Amino acid sequence: MSARTDLAHIISDNTLKNGYSKRYTQDIAAYLLASGMVKDLDSIMRDVHLYWQQAGYLEVIATTAYPLEENLKNQIKQYIKQIEPSVKKIIISENYDRKIIGGLSLSLPEKQLDLSLRAKLNKFKQAIETGKE
């Protein structure tokens, strides 16, 4: 096991037990800086999410153009439960980006569901271009 996966394990265990805290986040950041592992942050967080998922916890990053209301969050959770039945708890992290125009984009540890209008527009553009060829 590498240092990265070890760290990921530690973070996932700790957060599952104690949850998030600003202090803990700062500690992790300081450690990464000191050990020169800042560039591995994305990989570490992916591993953390995987371990969370294995433990039945799933963090979903939902990117929307406007803030999500509670009923929509619940609808998202229901949908995620449908595609990931083994999940015990779903945590939705919100991300706002007007560039997607409308709809939403769901980022899971091993999946990416782009249901935004931006994605549809890009597909439409691609379809026209490939249709010409």
Partner 1 sequence: MPLLNFASSSGIGALGFSPSSFLVQLITFGLAYLVLRRWAFGPIIKVLRERRETIDKGVSLGEQLEKEKVELDNKVEEMLIKSRAQADKIITEAESSAKQIIKDAESVARDKADRIVDETKARIDQETIQAKAKLEKDLVGLISLVTEEVIEEKVDKDSDKRLISRILSERAKV
| Chain residues that interact with partner 1, rule: CB under 8 A | 64-66, 68-69, 71-72, 75-76, 78-79, 82, 101-104, 115, 117, 121, 124-125, 128-129, 132
Smallest separation (angstroms) from partner 1 to the CB of 101: 6
**Closer by beta carbon to partner 1, 18 or else 86:** 86
Smallest separation (angstroms) from partner 1 to the CB of 46: 24
Smallest separation (angstroms) from partner 1 to the CB of 66: 5
**Closer by beta carbon to partner 1, 20 or else 96:** 96
Smallest separation (angstroms) from partner 1 to the CB of 129: 6
Other beta carbons within 10 angstroms of residue 51's beta carbon come to: 20
**Closer by beta carbon to partner 1, 42 or else 133:** 133
From 39, 91, 33, 99, select the one nearest 62 (Cα to Cα).
91
